């Protein structure tokens, strides 16, 4: 990020914060709560705290809280799903501390489902060896947990929430964070100065035309970190959920309704148009195989012209209606009675295992900047996230980020040198909508469930053309101040285009199939490529073709410190 010194005119409002948290999902809110009594400014681009992917999570929170379960067993399942790329220390943190965090939430009164005797109900999902999934409100866990956390945040005096605040850029000076440039509804451009910043902005699901993610999942934190020169990791690994409702949507930009994996944990089956249960032929765990295997099996049949259905009739016949109210409501809105009809399903982009490279305390390669939740890449998920480990990740690493920050002293610098960001000029006559739609369609078709060199190279060339079009909106000076909607739309396109380009580049460089990354021209797993890939934007730009970086050697250079 370009900065100017204090002897230049200030071109925006400057506010001072002790700690900034960007994002209002489970990771950001839990980190903010754990930072009390330190003063926290929590920024969210949505009009209230109810936005983000957390509220959409139908699945629950996985943790070894059952009598016959253990963190070691949970870790084993996590590593098996991760296809050889998990960082063992991060997995250990996730599974061992995960049980502590979940028990802590239970003791705090979190609204988890209980049986008639008052015991927490444990469910099972794909690739879990035991029942260890805790739910709230049946299949609306995210909604209930998010609402509960939001109320705690609002009632915490040390947390100041700034709503409708779009984070545009990280402001960096001498490898230390200075703060965040935002565009805030009614106030316009505001520079929030702070010595400590936490990115908890979620994932990049809106990169794809078919996604289960809400409209705000536009890779904002990841893109800001890339532009600021931070190390990122494993961007090629994008998980597609196997079972999203495959019906006409009211808007092509709206997320595809998720049909929770917990149904398959209770015995729901996948059938083709002839009524054949095909997953039994492909994997010993059938419908409970890892997500990447199930998603590709469905996708391959769909592109061959077949239709795939999820049969939950037997599940609902066992009086489990109260466990799946969200799915039944989704089906009712689509005109389906799941008690007597099967549900048409298709894979949709769901979770990004790649992200900003971070250690087990959420530290990044930039002093004063932490990251937690889906925006981070600690290696806990490897090449394919285990079901229901995402909400757990937000709790565990949100807590650890807060603990680490509480031990830090603010970075001191020469007060005569105050960083002030350069404010972009936006041309309100250019609209981002069509460019965004084209990018999402391109990504789903060329960089989706099945990839090959030809498609990836085509996508990269298209990204480079799009980057030139996006560049025009900052170079043309507007006579009027932009609206919040204009800034958000252009900012989100700018972020999606950058991250989409790097996802394609990383996918082209990984010449094998592993976890959620599948190459038709390299269909086999290569044991020699069981390494994580770290790079910066400079690594990409330093090559004339924009497609080369030395991921192997970087493994030993990935020092993260704060």
Antiparallel, parallel or unpaired: β 369-371 and 196-199:
parallel
The pLDDT, as a whole number, for residue 88 is 97
List the one residue out of 182, 309, 334 whose CA is nearest residue 248: 334
Strand partners, 509: none
Q: Tell me if the pTM is above 0.75.
A: yes
What pLDDT sits at residue 260?
87
Fold match, 242-350 / 424-531: no
8 Å CB contact between 510 and 519 = yes
CATH number of the structural domain 242-350: 3.90.700.10
For position 548, what pLDDT does the model report?
A: 38
Helix, strand or coil, per DSSP, at residue 303 = helix
Rounded CA gap, 176 and 411, in Å?
Answer: 8
| C-beta of residue 504 within 8 angstroms of C-beta of residue 467 | no
* Pairing state between β 3-4 and 420-421: antiparallel
Q: Would you list the domain boundaries of the chain?
A: 3-237+362-406, 242-350, 424-531
pLDDT score at 36: 93
Mean pLDDT by 10 residues, the chain (562 residues): 41 88 96 96 92 78 94 96 96 96 91 92 87 89 91 96 96 93 92 96 95 94 97 97 78 77 91 96 91 91 95 88 84 94 96 97 97 98 94 97 91 56 68 90 95 98 92 59 86 96 97 96 96 90 47 36 52
Protein fold of 424-531? Methane Monooxygenase Hydroxylase; Chain G, domain 1 (1.20.58)
Q: How many Cα atoms are found within 13 Å in the side-chain-facing hemisphere of 189?
A: 16
Q: Which entry of 34, 291, 510, 532 is annotated as an active-site residue? A: 291
State the DSSP H helix or E strand holding residue 245, giving kind and residue range, or none if neither: strand 238-245
The shares of helix, strand and coil residues in the chain, as percent rounded to the nearest 5, are 35, 20, 45
Protein fold of 3-237+362-406: FAD/NAD(P)-binding domain (3.50.50)
**Residue 264: active-site member:** no
Token digits of residue 60: 């629950």
**Residue 531 pLDDT:** 95
Give 367's Cβ-side CA count (13 Å radius): 12
Q: Coil, strand, or helix at residue 346?
A: strand
Radius of gyration of the chain (CA): 23
């Amino acid at each position: 990020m370009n900065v100017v010194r204090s002897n230049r005119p200030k071109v925006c409002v400057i506010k001072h914060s002790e700690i900034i948290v960007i994002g209002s999902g489970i990771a950001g809110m839990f980190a903010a709560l754990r930072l009390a009594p330190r003063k926290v400014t929590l920024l969210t681009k949505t009009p209230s705290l109810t936005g983000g992917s957390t509220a959409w999570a139908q699945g629950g929170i996985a943790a070894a809280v059952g009598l016959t379960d253990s963190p070691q067993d949970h870790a084993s399942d996590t590593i098996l799903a991760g296809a050889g790329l998990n960082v063992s220390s991060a997995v250990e943190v996730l599974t061992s501390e995960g049980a502590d965090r979940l028990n802590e939430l239970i003791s705090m009164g979190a609204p988890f489902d209980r049986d008639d005797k008052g015991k927490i109900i444990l469910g099972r999902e794909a690739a879990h060896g035991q029942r260890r999934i805790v739910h709230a409100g049946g299949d609306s866990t995210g909604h209930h947990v998010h609402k509960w956390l939001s109320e705690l945040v609002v009632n915490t005096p040390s947390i100041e929430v700034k709503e409708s605040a779009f984070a545009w850029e990280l402001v960096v000076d001498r490898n230390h964070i200075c703060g965040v440039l935002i565009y805030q509804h009614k106030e316009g451009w505001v520079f929030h100065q702070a010595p400590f910043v936490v990115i908890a902005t979620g994932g990049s699901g809106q990169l794809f035309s078919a996604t289960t993610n809400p409209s705000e999942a536009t890779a904002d934190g990841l893109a800001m970190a890339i532009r600021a020169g931070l190390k990122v990791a494993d961007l090629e690994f994008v998980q597609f959920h196997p079972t999203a409702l495959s019906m006409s949507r009211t808007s092509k930009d709206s997320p595809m309704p998720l049909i929770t994996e917990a149904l398959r944990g209770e015995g729901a089956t996948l059938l083709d148009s002839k009524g054949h249960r095909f997953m039994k032929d492909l994997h010993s765990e059938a419908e409970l195989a890892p997500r990447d295997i199930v998603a590709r099996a469905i996708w391959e049949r769909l592109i061959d012209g077949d239709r795939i259905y999820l049969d939950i009739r037997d599940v609902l016949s066992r009086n489990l209606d109260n466990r799946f109210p969200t799915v039944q409501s989704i089906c009712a809105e689509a005109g389906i009675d799941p008690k007597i009809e099967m549900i048409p399903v298709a894979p949709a982009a769901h979770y990004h295992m790649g992200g900003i490279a971070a250690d087990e305390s959420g530290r990044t390669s930039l002093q004063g900047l932490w990251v937690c939740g889906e925006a981070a890449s600690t290696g806990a998920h490897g090449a394919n996230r285990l079901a229901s480990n995402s909400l757990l990740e937000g709790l565990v690493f949100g807590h650890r980020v807060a603990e680490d920050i509480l031990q830090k002293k603010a970075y001191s610098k020469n007060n005569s040198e105050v960083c002030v960001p350069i404010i972009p000029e936006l041309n309100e006559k250019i609209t981002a909508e069509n460019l965004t739609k084209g990018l999402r369609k391109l990504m789903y078709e060329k960089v989706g469930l099945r990839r090959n060199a030809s498609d990836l190279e085509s996508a990269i060339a298209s990204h480079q053309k799009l980057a030139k079009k996006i560049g025009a909106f900052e170079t043309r000076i507007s006579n009027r101040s932009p609206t919040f909607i204009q800034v958000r739309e252009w900012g989100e396109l700018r972020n999606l285009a950058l991250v989409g380009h790097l996802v394609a580049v990383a996918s082209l460089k990984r010449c094998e199939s592993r976890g959620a990354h599948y190459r038709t021209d390299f269909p086999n797993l290569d044991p020699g490529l069981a390494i994580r890939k770290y790079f910066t934007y400079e690594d990409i730009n330093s090559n004339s073709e924009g497609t080369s970086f030395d991921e192997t050697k970087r493994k030993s250079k990935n020092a993260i410190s704060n």
